[in-house]
């Protein structure tokens, strides 16, 4: 089995490509969705956040008061690091468990949809391939303003908070050019899906694992015979 990291810049079209890949039957693990799951009331990271930050970061219904939490971590980088240290391990645990289940079921690859794949860099070494969804800066700005109902200044601020998209494109194995029509993007995604299906990379892990099993069996046989 092999892992494919899917990323992009804000509003470059990552979610659009992620949805297309799911529709083609790919197993997509969405990091944003997992991040919401681990902080749902009663979930492991929610409990740790409550313990550290107190009830002031909760709404009446028990859900996280994202605005309040946002204010705290915006004002204090140390608190941001603490919040990340409470949520990230929980997200990674679920991610690993999902990947393991896919592996056991015999799937050849899984797509990890991670907005900040390059910015955080932690998961990057485990990716056999990376896909970056690209479009021009003007399109990114226009789509972001439209989708999030932002002013130009606000949208530029969010874009500038991320690593420049051009830098991610340079580091990518595959680039989806989402500057044209959705039909053009769909075609590229279909072609890429074909390439991933034809990739032989999944044999590497199978080969390593079967070698480990064979050596272990060999040693056991030698010791007990
Ligand atoms: P991301 O997940 O990278 O933030 P999205 O996939 O949500 O970006 O796309 C950002 C916005 O641009 C959405 O409103 C989406 O509908 C729109 N969009 C995406 N691709 C195209 C395209 N090829 N043409 C026009 N609009 C697009």
Whether 15 is in the pocket of ligand 1, judged by its Cβ within 6 Å, is yes
Residues of the chain with pLDDT under 70: none
Q: Which of 114, 168, 117 is nearest to 140 (CA)?
A: 168
Q: Are 35 and 87 spatial neighbours (Cβ–Cβ below 8 Å)?
A: yes
What pLDDT, on a 0 to 100 scale, did the predictor assign at position 201? 83
**E strands within the chain?**
2-8, 28-30, 109-113, 129-134, 174-177
Whole-model pTM over 0.85: yes
pLDDT, one tens digit per residue, over 177-207 is 999 999 999 999 999 999 999 998 877 777 7
- What domain count does the chain have? 1
The whole-number pLDDT of residue 212 equals 85
Enumerate residues 6+ apart whose C-beta is below 8 A from 11: 140, 143, 144, 147, 148
CATH, residue 197:
3.40.50.300
The residue whose C-alpha atom lies closest to atom 1 belonging to ligand 1 is: 11
Q: What is the pLDDT at residue 200?
A: 85
In this prediction, residue 148 carries a pLDDT of 96
Tell which atom from ligand 1 comes closest to the C-alpha of 17.
6
The pair of three-digit structure tokens given for residue 66, joined into one six-digit string: 């994202």
Per-residue model confidence (pLDDT) at position 144: 97
**3-state secondary structure at position 172:** coil
Q: How far is the CA of 172 from the centre of ligand 1 (A)?
A: 20
Q: Does residue 8 line the site of ligand 1, with CB under 6 A?
A: yes
Residues facing 114 on adjacent strands:
none
| Domain extent for 47 | 2-224
Q: Round to whole Å and give the CA distance between 211 and 215.
A: 6
């Amino acid at each position: 089995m092999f892992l494919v990291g899917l990323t992009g810049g804000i509003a470059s079209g990552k979610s659009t490509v992620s949805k297309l890949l799911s529709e083609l039957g790919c197993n997509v693990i969405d990091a944003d969705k997992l991040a919401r799951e681990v902080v749902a009331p009663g979930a492991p990271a929610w409990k740790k956040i409550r313990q550290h930050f107190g009830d002031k970061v909760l709404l009446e219904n028990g859900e996280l008061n994202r605005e309040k939490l946002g204010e705290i971590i915006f004002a204090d980088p140390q608190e941001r690091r603490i919040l990340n240290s409470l949520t990230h391990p929980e997200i990674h645990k679920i991610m690993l468990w999902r990947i393991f289940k896919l592996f056991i079921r015999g799937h050849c690859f899984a797509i990890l949809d991670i907005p900040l794949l390059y910015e955080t860099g932690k998961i990057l070494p485990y990716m056999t391939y990376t896909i970056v969804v690209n479009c021009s800066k003007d399109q990114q700005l226009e789509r972001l303003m439209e989708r999030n109902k932002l002013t130009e200044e606000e949208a530029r601020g969010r874009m500038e908070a991320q690593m420049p998209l051009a830098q991610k494109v340079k580091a990518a194995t595959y680039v989806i050019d989402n500057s044209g029509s959705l039909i053009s993007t769909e075609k590229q995604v279909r072609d890429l899906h074909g390439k991933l299906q034809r990739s032989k990379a999944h044999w590497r892990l199978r080969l390593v694992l079967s070698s480990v099993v064979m050596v272990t069996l060999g040693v056991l046989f030698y010791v007990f015979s």
